[in-house]
Amino acid sequence: MSSAQRSAERPLYRDNARLPVRRAGIDTYRQPVLYLHRDCLVSCAEGFAALTRVKVECGDRDVVALLNIVTGDWLSKDEAALSDAAWRVLAPKAGAIASFSHAEPPESASALRAKVFGKRLGEAEFESILRDALASRLSDIELAAFVTTCAGDRMDLDESVALTRAMVSVGERIDWGTGPVLDKHCVGGLPGNRTTPIVVPIVAALGHRIPKTSSRAITSPAGTADVMATMTEVDLEIDVLRTVVDREGGCMASGGNMHLSPADDILIQIERPLDLDSDGQMVASILSKKVAAGCTHVLIDIPVGSTAKVRTMAAAEAIARRLAFVGEAVGLRVGVLMSDGKQPVGRGIGPALEAHDVLEVLRNSPQAPGDLRERALDVAGAVLELLPGIPRGSGRIQAAGVLASGAALRKFMAICAAQGGFREPGTAHFVEPVIARADGRVGCINNRQLARIAKLAGAPLNATAGVVCSLREGDLVQRGMPLFHVHAGSRGELDYALDYANTHLDALSLRSEPS
């Protein structure tokens, strides 16, 4: 075949490295991905290989995408396909043609490489990395390298301050004007510890501002936003959130739509599959969102237990020191409450199940879980005592009075009404117990195992799924009685969770009673 014939067979847009684009229908989460056939002329001409960073331009938009090579026949050699993440950025019209070229190295590449080799980074260097991450100019592989180099003891206190400030600078920031703005946060790892929907209305009912934004669950069976979503609207824009707080003094919303420290959301999603818990990044994550939300006084709850996120008091004290140092540097008054993390709080583990516990406490029901009530009052008291002029111990007394009087419930309902209306949380279609196989007493409760069972049952995606456990350490158990109940939205999910639970009965380990 002559060169003229070969040229005639090529698409007209080949010489300019251009191809029509279509949607691949593949969810790659936040990573934009480009798909080209292995015989694609553009790919061959440009020297693209798998995992090449390719700049894709379509109309007046562009994105840097990671190339995946297609060896099957679902994509022709004369077209390109885009992952959902890339498609959202480019938003191409029907029949659109895109151009492709090698992407320039991201501006932050030198800073990232320097951190890999142990150099300390400053605020400008962290900000460069985060801006490139937000613009999808860094691949997940590069971000994983960054997260790893910041883990363990490889980030000092000054770097935590620099990273916190950088996280704030690349996102939105709310200004509430003068006066104290309160908040609280739990570092997590303790199933059912859903104090926020009780603390916020208590504090707001006392006339203080507490604009609480929370995340959806990342690795747990429920986050505060998931729990609140079973009772009211949580996906609020910033202007709506302002209206709610101006009207009621507090809110309980998801931070996902507000772009408060958005770079942190990206880093969290990278940390999750790596299962890395870095004190430096965790502190920057927590405090950057508090600064961005306009808070001035923040209470951090650190549950400590052998199967909690923070396992030793020494580890908790190290986190507390870092929180205090970074908080002071970024203008926050930070208080720390170290709490018992040996076992779950409340009975429910899962969005709707935890919501039922919350409502029982707010409604002063005789059946309300006492440990959740007491924990919420401890946290609310500690939040109030961050304010000037509130002596130690009096905050909890104020909180208990507001809860007992019904003022906290009224404020909770008012906040829900302002956010879009209140609804009762639902219940699961399928519920079955996990039965004790012997007599004994509960020796210890494995928080991680119970959380795992709740997730296998469908939580948090199925809001009514999860686990209900009323037993606590030291409780007497007789053979044949329920250890806990599994709630699920389908028979298949229920069976899946029960199968795991019955082969991992160490979720509640029993010790034999002396004869």
- 3-class state of residue 359 by DSSP: helix
**Catalytic residue status for 475:** no
- 3-class state of residue 338 by DSSP: strand
**Tokens, residue 77:** 């050699």
Per-residue pLDDT of the chain in tens (515 residues, 90 and over written 9): 444 444 444 444 444 589 999 999 999 988 899 999 999 989 888 899 999 999 999 999 999 999 999 999 999 999 999 999 999 999 999 999 999 999 998 999 999 999 999 999 999 999 999 999 988 888 888 999 999 999 888 899 999 999 999 999 998 889 999 999 999 999 988 999 999 999 999 999 999 999 999 888 877 899 999 999 999 999 999 999 999 999 999 999 997 777 788 888 888 888 877 777 688 889 999 999 999 999 999 999 999 998 888 999 999 999 999 999 999 999 999 999 999 999 999 999 999 999 999 999 999 999 999 999 999 999 999 999 999 999 998 999 999 999 999 999 999 999 999 999 999 999 999 999 999 998 999 988 999 999 999 999 999 999 999 999 999 999 999 999 999 999 999 999 999 999 999 988 777 777 766 54
**Tokens, residue 147:** 């997260």
From CA 159, how far away is CA 165, in angstroms rounded? 10
Which helix (H) or strand (E) segment holds residue 364: the answer is none
| Start-end of H helices in 464-503 | 491-503
- Cα dihedral 54, 59, 62, 65 sign: negative
Amino acid at position 80, single letter: A
From CA 234, how far away is CA 213, in angstroms rounded? 9
What domains appear along the chain, each with residue ranges and CATH number?
3-102 (2.40.40.20), 182-257+290-419 (3.40.1030.10), 430-511 (3.90.1170.30)
Amino acid at position 98, single letter: A
3-state SS string for 199-231: HHHHHHHCCCCEEEEECCCCCCCCCHHHHHHCC
Nearest by Cα to 146 from 106, 111, 105, 107? 111
**E strand map for 218-373:** 250-254, 297-304, 333-340, 348-349
Write down the residue that tokens 């104290």 correspond to. Answer: 180
Nearest by Cα to 431 from 343, 344, 348? 348
Of 62, 78, 235, 277, the catalytic one is 277
From CA 237, how far away is CA 258, in angstroms rounded? 6
From CA 283, how far away is CA 267, in angstroms rounded? 13
Nearest by Cα to 66 from 145, 136, 146, 133? 136
Q: How many helices (H) and strands (E) does the chain have?
A: 19, 18
From CA 317, how far away is CA 339, in angstroms rounded? 12
**Tokens, residue 198:** 């009780």
